[in-house]
Amino acid sequence: GLALGLWRRQAALAAAREDEEEKELRQRFMAPPVSGLRELRRRRRELRSRMELLIMETQAEVCRALADLDPGASFAVDSWERKEGGGGISCVLQDGEVFEKAGVNVSVVSGLLSEEAARQMRSRGKSLKAKDGKLPFCAMGVSSVIHPKNPHVPTMHFNYRYFEIEEADGTKQWWFGGGTDLTPTYLNEEDAIHFHKTLKEACDKHDLKLYPKYKKWCDDYFYIKHRGERRGIGGIFFDDMDSPSKEEVFQFVKSCAKAVVPCYIPIVKKHCHDSFTPEEKQWQQLRRGRYVEFNLVYDRGTKFGLLTPGSRIESILMSLPLTARWEYMHNPPESSKEAEILEVLRNPKDWVH
């Protein structure tokens, strides 16, 4: 009887502790996780669960930091389900005082890879051996695009994701990808240096070779070929990262995710009350047009989303600005502030040395 009583008391304590933990996690996140807190706790040692917790935490951290700067506005939190497996949480703020549109999305999806998506991956050198033409996959990530109202505050984008595919013989291929990059309307060297230095510090904790490699990859990736210019002043970008080990890559991705708020929020604080002219606002609209061109023509994530059956189009196109402009044959005057940013977009600079 004594042993049973002790066991019951321990079980009750454990249950109370779990409830407490669950409450704390709920307060920490913007919405309950896609996989459910119980499931995540049950499999908490598995990397998939740890990655889902990381993307949920990153979403909440970024949303809270943005909401602090724009107290009049609030995030619409939208949890959605995908009938093919999984779902996501979209947090979108629109028409604020500081942010015209800011979205931070989490998605955790699983199912069978579409033929088109598999073809896209094979074209990047992935040898995927399907079983009866089927490839089970699981993908999760956090992605965000922030379009401020003021032309002196840059647009920022980040995305960190994990992918797992099970091949015909049961072996699993896995990799991480992601990055953080800045798209200013006007060039401010001090901001560019701060942004790049913060990302470099996150990379340097793991390997000094990572920042230069991923900075170059970012400049090459966000390239609008038909314009001959980059989308912005870069940052870091990597994909298909599957070495040295799962744990080491996860820790690196975690450092990058934790660098998002410190690399960007100080820049917003510094400029969100700067005065601007209607001409400066118009130039911002034209630059946003370029942003749209890149995302719809070249961006791999957008393409993958549009090719995945049952994906949520509203969440994929969240990256597009509320307003943008396309003028016929627009060319800024030589040696103007507008021409200055174009020069950097055509010829990327080293910001940290």
Every domain of the chain and the residues it spans:
47-346
Residue 253: phi, psi to the nearest 5? -60, -40
Q: What is the DSSP string of 201-238?
A: HHHHTT-TTHHHHHHHHHHHHSEETTTTEESSSEEEEE
Instruction: Report the pLDDT value the prediction gives residue 67, as an integer from 0 to 100.
Output: 96
CA 229 to chain centre: 22
Instruction: Report the pLDDT value the prediction gives residue 112, as an integer from 0 to 100.
Output: 86
What parts of the chain have a pLDDT lower than 70?
Answer: 18, 21-22, 24-26, 132
Instruction: Report the pLDDT value the prediction gives residue 50, as an integer from 0 to 100.
Output: 95
Instruction: Report the pLDDT value the prediction gives residue 22, as an integer from 0 to 100.
Output: 67
The fold of 47-346 is oxygen-dependent coproporphyrinogen oxidase (3.40.1500)
Instruction: Report the pLDDT value the prediction gives residue 304, as an integer from 0 to 100.
Output: 80
CA 294 to chain centre: 16
Instruction: Report the pLDDT value the prediction gives residue 16, as an integer from 0 to 100.
Output: 74
Put residue 253 in one of left, alpha, beta given phi > 0 → left and psi -120 to 50 → alpha.
alpha
Instruction: Report the pLDDT value the prediction gives residue 129, as an integer from 0 to 100.
Output: 75
Q: Percent of the chain, pLDDT > 90?
A: 71
User: How far is residue 194's CA from residue 179's CA, in Å, rounded to a whole number?
Assistant: 16
Strands 155-166 and 172-183, sheet pairing:
antiparallel
Output Rg (C-alpha) for the chain, integer angstroms.
22
Instruction: Report the pLDDT value the prediction gives residue 135, as an integer from 0 to 100.
Output: 84
Residues 6+ apart with CB under 8 A from 66: 75, 93, 99, 102, 104, 146, 265
The residues annotated as belonging to the active site are: 157
